[in-house]
Amino acid sequence: VGLVSLASLCRPDDEVRVLDEKASPFPEPLEADLVGISFKTMYADHAYALADRLRAGGVRVALGGLHASLCPAEAGAHADIVVAGEGEAVWPQVLADLDRGAARPLYRAPAPPAPIDGLPRQRVELMAHERYLLHSVQTARGCSLDCEFCPTRAMFGAGFRLRRVDAVAAEVRELLRLQRKHVLFTDDVFGAGNPGFIAELTSALKPLGVSYTVICDLKMLTPPIVGQLAASGCRFMTINMPGTCLPEELAAVRQIQAAGIRVWGYFMFGFEFHKPDVFERVVHFVREGDIQQVSLTLLAPYPGTPMGERLRKEGRILSSDYRRYDQSHVVFRPAGMTPEQLEEGFGLVVREIGDRASIQRVMDHLDKRG
């Protein structure tokens, strides 16, 4: 969605292609005036190598996205331009400066971040939709919290910003016209957890007959919101679970399931408060709650995040190999157990409930339910 959003800000005369290496191989050699590359930490080495090759062939390269925003100086060694933070606010300036031969090496998104209710229509037709299982749509950006490990604030600034309901609904309608399939709302917290916005958006989604997944925080889930989501086509609710497995969390899971929505539990291991008993507790919680879909990850203290910097100062970073920052390797020394206990405990969870982490299960459920 980030690349499509930037493509939407290019000028009418710019010829733009959106390429996603997760969907198709990068077509080298590539003739282009400018290649913008967005990447996460685990792909940094790959992105830098690609950028180096492109630049050696005379193509100018702009690096942005999560990792370049967290480590702009490092990214600058492989780029003509680094965009740190949200790209939309500076992208038109980058293009104008390039045209007049005066591009700067670093563009930082302004703080506080610009509103996103005025973004132009997203050029969703630029994506190779046949290569994806789901459509991705964003309704909000940012978060009002500031979890120490999370890169959201570094990327999107503090607080929430919402898109216009009519723009989101029009985008969903257009995506369904291009290809009828499930929609994933990619917001860290769907509709920023804003009850008024969610009521309005779910009303706009209902007549579209869309089937969709949202990411939610348990605290935002009042009975009316769960009801509105269920009635407008929500089939999966991804919920970040801290591994506390409290009775009230189990009650919330059951409330969502009773409304006909599948809970997709997102469990991360390695928090400072996690002790070796967290693994068995989560396995028991998933089974007791009949949670059919899970994501199982290890905490990754990304360089440039508050937690990454703190652990580095404390000498607790065990690996600086970016390829291991894929949330399935232990890359730091946890506080409540040894790295070996974290690795073994994670292995146990994967063995016990890892079959529920298959995306095929999502597709099978959607095939049955629609």
Identify the bridge partners of residue 60 per DSSP, sorted by sequence position. Answer: 34
Confirm or reject binding of residue 111 to ligand SF4 (CB under 6 A).
no
CB of 163 to ligand SF4, least distance (A): 17
Region binding ligand SF4 by CB under 6 A among candidate stretches 18-26, 101-109, 143-151, 334-342: 143-151
Confirm or reject binding of residue 272 to ligand SF4 (CB under 6 A).
no
Region binding ligand SF4 by CB under 6 A among candidate stretches 19-27, 124-132, 139-147, 192-200: 139-147
Sign of the CA dihedral with 173 first, then 179, 182, and 185 last: negative
Of residues 146, 166, 272, 364, which one binds ligand SF4 by CB under 6 A? 146
Sign of the CA dihedral with 18 first, then 24, 323, and 141 last: positive
- Rounded to 5 degrees, φ, ψ at 40 are -95, 170
Region binding ligand SF4 by CB under 6 A among candidate stretches 146-154, 178-186, 218-226, 306-314: 146-154
Confirm or reject binding of residue 19 to ligand SF4 (CB under 6 A).
no
Q: Which is nearer to ligand SF4, 147 or 250 (CB)?
A: 147
Confirm or reject binding of residue 186 to ligand SF4 (CB under 6 A).
no
- Residue 108 to residue 89: CA distance in whole angstroms: 9
Of residues 128, 145, 178, 246, which one binds ligand SF4 by CB under 6 A? 145
CB of 116 to ligand SF4, least distance (A): 16
Confirm or reject binding of residue 154 to ligand SF4 (CB under 6 A).
no
CB of 184 to ligand SF4, least distance (A): 16
Q: Which is nearer to ligand SF4, 146 or 321 (CB)?
A: 146
Confirm or reject binding of residue 150 to ligand SF4 (CB under 6 A).
yes
Q: Which is nearer to ligand SF4, 76 or 306 (CB)?
A: 306
Confirm or reject binding of residue 143 to ligand SF4 (CB under 6 A).
yes
**Which residue has 């939407």 as its token pair?**
8
**Which residue has 């959106």 as its token pair?**
18
Residue environment code for 321-360, b if the CB has 16+ CB neighbours within 10 A, otherwise e: ebebbebebbbbbbeebeeebbbebbeebeebbeebbeee
Q: Which is nearer to ligand SF4, 36 or 308 (CB)?
A: 308
Please list every residue from 187 through 206 that binds ligand SF4, using CB under 6 A.
188
Q: Which is nearer to ligand SF4, 146 or 280 (CB)?
A: 146
Region binding ligand SF4 by CB under 6 A among candidate stretches 61-69, 92-100, 145-153, 159-167: 145-153
Region binding ligand SF4 by CB under 6 A among candidate stretches 114-122, 144-152, 269-277, 295-303: 144-152
Confirm or reject binding of residue 147 to ligand SF4 (CB under 6 A).
yes
Confirm or reject binding of residue 152 to ligand SF4 (CB under 6 A).
yes
CB of 187 to ligand SF4, least distance (A): 9
Binding site for ligand SF4 (CB under 6 A): 143, 145-147, 150, 152, 188
